Amino acid sequence: MRIAFLTATEGVEEIELTDPWKAALNAGWNPQLVSTEAGQVRAYNHLDKAGSYTVDHVLAGDTADAFDALVLPGGVANPDALRTNERAVGFIRSFFEQGKPVAAICHAPWTLVEAGVLPGRTLTSWPSLATDIRNAGGTWVDEEVQVCHGGPTTLITSRKPDDLEAFCTAFVAEFAA
């Protein structure tokens, strides 16, 4: 299974990238780091610079065709940059259009708001996104992990790094289904 991990070039929360990546590898899947530019993605540990990761695939009008599922790591700056990038938003939307599963943690649901895919869906996120999610037609819940089977696309969401174990367990189970 080929899994797209979509990040901006800077600002992804490192543990929200690396823990799900390891979970995908442990499941025997092929994770691919997808970004808006070639080169390296700079991760952060909250506000402190952390590791750099090599981009495997650069967005250029891509859709979900080449991937089986999508993981959206958080961090504040990462989804904020992605939601203003038309290629990234279109890429995310294509997973919903094709009925492929999507997992998003922490601030990453901001990109789902921008993609217009939340009406009728129940999800969780970092609490400061609750109003944005509600305004976009979603139902926000304060849960460690939320799995929404509304429509053809399964959406798995979690609130924060402390929820990573539950998040990884849930998305691996749902992606494998």
Whether the CB-CB separation of 121 and 155 falls below 8 Å is answered with: yes
**Cα–Cα distance between 10 and 74 in angstroms, integer?**
11
Of these residues, 57, 106, 149, 168, which one is catalytic? 106
**Cα–Cα distance between 88 and 142 in angstroms, integer?**
27
**Cα–Cα distance between 39 and 99 in angstroms, integer?**
30
Of these residues, 46, 57, 107, 148, which one is catalytic? 107
148 is catalytic: no
Bridge partner list, 108: none
Residues annotated as catalytic (active site), given as ranges: 106-107
